Structure 1
Amino acid sequence: MSHRRALVVRGGWDGHHPVEATELFLPFLRDNGFDVRVSESNEVYADADEMAATDLVLQCVTMSEISREALAGLRTAVANGTGLAGWHGGIADSYRASSDYLQLVGGQFATHPGRHPDERPGTEEDNYLPYRVEITGLGRTHEITAGLDDFDLDTEQYWVLTDDLNDVLATTTHPVQPYHPWHRPIVSPAVWTRAWGAGRVFVATPGHTPDVLREPSVRTIIERGLLWASRTVSE
């Protein structure tokens, strides 16, 4: 059987546990016929031969920076059929200074609304809220989310700035709170796909910690998303 090749690129802010988080999915990739390479630097994107031979990029790099050459290599590879997938800040809060990267992935983290000021312990849990992920009409039939019900989480709820090129499979709603400055509920995409040239992009916003990634619905969505995004046959 001809194996596919997956490239796992991880790093950036340690608060999203890039090593532990990605390690959760390496056995799944291998069990599904991928040869897996792990890189701790996004400069691998500038290697044209490596990227042309890669069927799937799993990126977990929060914030950080990317060189012009690496970004061009990533965009070219995806346009030529390499899949790009990830979760939470590892893909939706990467390379904040790059508008070209934002256009590629189709969504940028803006904020995660927090608890009432009187209920904040002064830790990352200040931004943990109970919220619901709701599968859209499209999501009810899409292979990534078909058969899944709406589900609840208690973790960071991402507010994402996005555009209409995305196919949104699940959303989440930020309610109006008296201690926040907005005045109506905001619906934000929580899971989406995006076509880019011959390539596919998959993003799930839940995934702040490995515990969230282990939540059955989250893990199922990510595993299906990885397979969906991958190029089916290596060139």
Structure 2
Amino acid sequence: MTRKKALVVRGGWEGHEPVKATELFVPFLRDNGYDVRIEESTGVYADAPEMAATDLVVQCVTMSEITHEQLSGLRTAVEAGTGFTGWHGGIADSFRASSDYLHLVGGQFATHPGKEPCERHGGAEDNFLPHTVTVTELGRTHPVTAGIEEFDLDTEQYWVLHDDLIDVLATTTHPARPWQPWHRPVTSPAVWTRRWGAGRIVVTTPGHSVDVLENPSVRTVIERGMLWATRTASAS
């Protein structure tokens, strides 16, 4: 059987521990029949032959910048059938200056609401809030999330700006707390898929730190997302 090719691209803001986070999933990929190439920058996206031969891209690059040639290479590969997936800021908060990247992914991190001001002490935990991730009706039957019950996390809760082309598999709701300026609860997608040409995209917003990625539900969604996004026979 021909082995699949996975490309892990990592870098950007170190607060999301891109090396430790991606190394958590490399054994899963190898155990599931992937040859894994790891790159520490997005330069590989401009390598057309390499991208055309790649069945899955796993990206963990928060913020940072991407060149026109690199982004064009990524978009071309996904449109031709290369799968694209990632979690948290590594995919939903990448390349903030690029509207074409946002168009590809379909959703962009806007903020993670924080604790009440009197409970903040200047650390990352200021933005950790207990919240629930709820699987949607579509998500109950989708291969990425089927059988997963709603689950609770105490970590960053992403508020996402998004379009209507995404298929939302799970959501999380931001309550209207007294110290916040919004006046009613706001629901954001927490897991979504997107079809782009012949390619499949999966975005999972939980994943601020390795301990969140090790949550059984989060890890299962990410791993299933890798398998589902991988180039299908019809896109080969």
In 1, the alpha carbon distance for the partners of 2:106 and 2:153 equals: 23
User: Residue 122 of structure 2 aligns with which residue?
Assistant: 122
2:162 is aligned with 1:159: no
User: Residue 189 of structure 2 aligns with which residue?
Assistant: 189
Task: Encode CA deviations 1:101-132: one digit per residue, 9 max, x unaligned.
Answer: 00101100000000000111210000000000
User: Residue 146 of structure 2 aligns with which residue?
Assistant: 146
In 1, the alpha carbon distance for the partners of 2:99 and 2:47 equals: 21
User: Residue 77 of structure 2 aligns with which residue?
Assistant: 77
Alpha-carbon distance, 1:31 to partner: 0.4
User: Residue 95 of structure 2 aligns with which residue?
Assistant: 95
User: Residue 32 of structure 1 aligns with which residue?
Assistant: 32
In 2, the alpha carbon distance for the partners of 1:102 and 1:221 equals: 22
Alpha-carbon distance, 1:62 to partner: 0.1
In 2, the alpha carbon distance for the partners of 1:82 and 1:90 equals: 18
TM-score (norm 1): 0.99
In 1, the alpha carbon distance for the partners of 2:147 and 2:110 equals: 30
Query: Which secondary structure does the structure 2 equivalent of 1:211 belong to?
Result: helix
Given that 2:81 and 2:232 are in contact with CA atoms closer than 8 Å, whether structure 1 keeps it comes out as no
Structure 2: which 5+ runs fail to align?
A: none
RMSD: 0.8
Alpha-carbon distance, 1:223 to partner: 0.3
User: Residue 177 of structure 1 aligns with which residue?
Assistant: 177
Task: Encode CA deviations 1:137-162: one digit per residue, 9 max, x unaligned.
Answer: 00000011000100000000000000
User: Residue 86 of structure 2 aligns with which residue?
Assistant: 86
In 1, the alpha carbon distance for the partners of 2:69 and 2:43 equals: 8
Alpha-carbon distance, 1:207 to partner: 0.1
User: Residue 44 of structure 1 aligns with which residue?
Assistant: 44
In 2, the alpha carbon distance for the partners of 1:71 and 1:82 equals: 14
In 1, the alpha carbon distance for the partners of 2:165 and 2:232 equals: 22
Query: Which secondary structure does the structure 2 equivalent of 1:59 belong to?
Result: strand
User: Residue 107 of structure 2 aligns with which residue?
Assistant: 107
In 1, the alpha carbon distance for the partners of 2:61 and 2:147 equals: 30
Task: Encode CA deviations 1:168-210: one digit per residue, 9 max, x unaligned.
Answer: 0000000001111100100000000000000000000000000
In 2, the alpha carbon distance for the partners of 1:146 and 1:201 equals: 17
Alpha-carbon distance, 1:232 to partner: 3.0
User: Residue 20 of structure 2 aligns with which residue?
Assistant: 20
TM-score (norm 2): 0.99
The percent identity for this pair of structures is 73
Aligned residues: 235
